[in-house]
Amino acid sequence: MADLPRVLVVDDSRLVRASLVQHIRASYDVREEGDGEAAWQALVLDQSIRAVVSDLQMPKMNGYQLLERLRTSRLRRLQQMPFILVSGEETEEERARARSAGASDFITKGSGTVEILTQLGNLLALQEAHEAVESVQEERVQNPQTGLYTRKFLELQIAQALSHSARHGMDVSLMVLGFDGFESLGERLGVEQAEKIIQRFARMLSGKVRQEDSLGHVAPGCLAVVSPGTALVHCASFAERVRQAVEASRLAAQGETIELTVSIGLAGVPADTVTSAGALLDLAMERMEKALQAGGNRVESNADTPAQRPISIPHALELLRVRRPDAVRPHLDVLLSQLLPLLALMDETLTLGLPMDVIQRRAADTAGKK
């Protein structure tokens, strides 16, 4: 029986249930419930149920109410589950109401074995075909592990954006993010756990991109964002904010604190001369690899777009808050220049006795070198 499709039969009459079960038990594994509420609980908990044959008039929840629960459920399998309504009377009005409510089919009590089996068989075959089509589409469009768009789908999005750009002179930008040290992270925590960490950042990133942008998973530990209508210089600003957000984050996994950084590669038209979606994606990935090889935690773009911006005081304070002083040290001279007016005011007002001449000389030397 375990190999047979499971069908839920719902009717408050034991005699009617017994009759229906007798018709289909040779071809289906049957589960019985006596009212709509019990049927609903069974449907939510028992994922093996493939179809429902339900009476129309029942206590607690009638057939129409049960059907409405399924069709408005957030569970996709329930929204699309074959549902046959059984009624004591067959009228065109009743049949039309059942169809409009979302019933897959409508039969009258007393229908023969052949009719019931034919209807169930047709509905389940149609459902299997529909699920197979959806499975192929999702495999092509979405990564089955992350739910993000695949590289193939992103290339289609890029190609569409490039075509629109050629006709209307619209900018197109592409950002590829590679998490630094992803392989070692996988060795330390396991590949599955490492991917889950990346998925957490992907969910964060999906809330920051525009509706017209496309976020995808293009390689292990590597995400990409296609941004039609965005100039590369604006994409670079967004990329820098993303880099800073990842750098300042602290995650806990398997009892340890995880510190992550990203290397980001940017490419776009008309800033870059490319003629295909694959070439644009490859260029962005090459620049991401270049940023990684240069030490990581940076943004790499074309020569006309600044890849790295000076660290800001708020970001420096955020890094210190999460105990990452090493990320701040390379920027101390720049930060000193930014803080110099504040230090002078504090020294004057609070009589701190700071060696302002030494501090000012150091700031001037730094500015002179730049």
pLDDT at 267: 95
CATH of domain 151-309: 3.30.70.270
pLDDT at 147: 74
Task: Please state the domain extents for the chain.
Answer: 6-141, 151-309, 330-369
Query: Does 104 score more than 70 pLDDT?
Result: yes
Residues 173-192 pLDDT 10s: 999 999 998 888 888 888 88
Q: Which residues of 25-57 are buried (b: 16+ CB within 10 A; e: fewer)?
A: eeebbbbbbbbbbebbebbeeeeebbbbbbbbe
Query: Does 54 score more than 60 pLDDT?
Result: yes
Mean pLDDT of 117-123: 87
pLDDT at 306: 45
Mean pLDDT of 76-85: 87
Cα 51 to Cα 95, 107, 296: the distances in Å are 19, 14, 53
Query: Does 26 score more than 60 pLDDT?
Result: yes
Instruction: With cut-offs at 50, 70 and 90, classify the pLDDT of residue 39.
Output: very high
Mean pLDDT of 312-331: 75
pLDDT at 265: 95
Query: Does 13 score more than 80 pLDDT?
Result: yes
Check for a shared fold between 6-141 and 151-309: no
Write the CB contacts of 181 (distance below 8 Å, at least 6 apart in sequence): 260, 261, 296
CATH of domain 6-141: 3.40.50.2300
Whole-model pTM over 0.75: no
Query: Does 138 score more than 80 pLDDT?
Result: no
Query: Does 370 score more than 60 pLDDT?
Result: no
CA angle 215, 155, 221 (to 5 degrees): 50
Which of 311, 293, 152 is closest to 240 using CA atoms?
Answer: 311
Concatenating the DSSP letter of every residue in 288-325 gives HHHHHHTTSSEEE--TTS----PPPHHHHHHHHHTT-G
Q: Give 367 or 37, the one with higher predicted confidence.
A: 37
**Token duo for residue 279:** 């070439």
pLDDT at 305: 46
**Token duo for residue 71:** 């069709």
